Homo-oligomer: A and B are copies of this chain.
Amino acid sequence: MEVHVFEKQSARPACSAICASNAGRENQDRIPIDLVVDGGVALTMVEDQEPVMNSRILVSNGRIVAIGRKRDLTIPNGASYELLDATDCLVMPGLINAHAHTAMTIFRGVSDDLPLKRWLFEKIFPLEKEFLSSDTVYWGALLGCLEMISSGTTCFADGYFLQDQTAMAADAAGLRGIIAQGIIDFPAPGVPDPKENIAVGQRFIQRWKGKSELITPGLFCHSPLTCSEKTMSDAWDLSSEHHLPLQMHLSETREEVEAILSNTKKRPVDYLEGLGLLTDQLVVSHAIHLSHEEIVLLAKRGVGVVHVPESNMKLGSGVANISRMLSCGMDVGLGTDGCSSNNNLDLLCEMDSAAKLSKVFERNPANMKARETLKMATLGGASVLGLKNEIGSLEKGKMADMIVIDLKRPHLWPVYNPFSTVVYSANGSDVRDVIVNGRILMKNRNFMNLDSNEIMCRVREISRRIARFF
């Protein structure tokens, strides 16, 4: 059965805008093609680009070297490549989870439906204190990587502790990771003396910078309430020195905003402005309780925001005014947060929640359209993380991070508008194949390089100990 996606007439022909067409064939002939993804409907996420029907994508050495219509793109003679048949499928950029605490999979569902303070102080903090170790963070992060691969995420930004383990897990999984060592002015897992937090972060960056083409190390300041001015400034200086993004929670709860107001006499964004931290290197997550002036200032300074709608909903924290941020021209990415407040890492479902929450929050169904939402989970995340020239869209020259979604499923049928299909109908289990850096990590829903049984067994052992804790 053939999938029928209805093609729009576009003023801008799909192929000439993005592909190395046959006219450029001479160059292609000299490039060794490793992978060809053939026959799918490609959502390139290139601005104003319509879906490319019956597409062909050529990959060489981890990068897209050509993309266009199959009929317009020939494969070089004698090339030895892997062919992925994407007939009846969508092909699109891999999803980017711009805010996660991946190892928290070990705490998935351990303490739900509690008032925020009880959840945090009676459950999560004691659990983290008791159970976070090199072993648990590694296996928890690896389970998270497995889940992200299985639901179409190809790149994730992570802020947590003992981050060598998360970086190792991402590297082993073959996922692209922006892995940030947690910085907090309290004793933390792996950092018993908070005076050492910047030094620990520095050593983490030194160990991982340039070590793996998949891993970008960095720092994650827990929040302006739990980090001092000096800690945040030092973290910013260190990040700036290495040209790395600095991740931070910002204005997640009303209480946090009030506490900062009370301590500093400034609203959180003004407080960070006073410290000189507001630049395009800063990536703030949640960003719920912001005044209009704060949004305008964040936009002016080029600060990246990560929207975390499902966690914000589940914890009852509030609704970030993403539409206003987008209309101010801000870069906005999408994240899941950790599995203790979501409770999964499924960005396809997160997009659905993001769009619908925005519509009902503003009582406007035209708010946050499907395409805009998908952009948040792809190019938006790439921009926020400083990677927009490398990932986030299917374009010649970009890294070959892409996913294939099987359309032949009752709940995705029929397909009038593939952006709608992806955002409003699909879930993570509809992802058939996942490619990162040109390497296939999941094919026909089989993991190519991870032993899911081993990972789940290890996490089961950890979870048994955790269950005995209460």
Contacts and interface: CB of A to CB of B under 8 A. Distances in A.
A265 interface: no
Interface in A440-470: 452-453, 455-457, 459-460, 462-464, 466-467
Interface stretch (A20-28, A220-228, A270-278, A314-322): A314-322
Interface in A1-16: 1, 3-4, 6
B463 A410 contact: no
Count of this chain's copies in the oligomeric assembly? 2
A106 interface: yes
Interface in A134-148: 143, 146-147
Interface stretch (A79-87, A295-303, A348-356, A395-403): A348-356
Interface string A160-195: 000000000000000000000000000000000000
Given A316-B365, A363-B316, A349 B414 contact: no
A421 B106 CA distance: 13
A202 interface: no
Interface stretch (A113-121, A211-219, A243-251, A378-386): A113-121
A456 B317 contact: no
A266 interface: no
A342 to B, nearest CB: 7
Contact of A424 (B112, B355, B420, B425): B112
A106 B410 CA distance: 11
B318 A363 contact: yes
A84 to B, nearest CB: 21
A113 B370 contact: yes
Contacts of A365: 113-116, 119, 314-316
A427 B424 contact: no
B413 A108 contact: yes
A240 interface: no
A313 interface: yes
Contacts of A313: 356-357, 359-360
A416 B115 CA distance: 19
A416 B467 contact: yes
Interface string A302-341: 0000000010111111110000000000000000000100
Contacts of A408: 456
A416 B127 CA distance: 14
A453 B353 CA distance: 30
Nearest to A418: B109
Given A356-B314, A411-B150, A113 B369 contact: yes
A449 to B, nearest CB: 14
A154 interface: no
A30 to B, nearest CB: 41
A377 to B, nearest CB: 16
Contacts of A355: 314
Contacts of A359: 313-316
A460 B415 CA distance: 9
A110 B108 CA distance: 36
A463 B4 CA distance: 9
A146 B316 contact: no
A279 interface: no
A421 to B, nearest CB: 6
Max chain B C-beta neighbours (<10 A), residue from A114, A312, A411:
A411
B456 A349 contact: no
A408 to B, nearest CB: 7
Contacts of A425: 108-109, 339, 343-344
A433 interface: no
A233 interface: no
Nearest to A461: B4
A339 B411 CA distance: 9
10 contacts: A1-B460, A6-B464, A106-B414, A108-B425, A110-B416, A113-B366, A113-B369, A150-B410, A314-B359, A349-B427
Given A4-B463, A413-B459, 20 more contacts: A6-B464, A108-B413, A108-B414, A109-B416, A109-B420, A109-B421, A109-B424, A112-B370, A112-B424, A113-B365, A115-B366, A143-B413, A150-B410, A313-B357, A316-B364, A343-B420, A344-B411, A415-B463, A416-B466, A429-B429
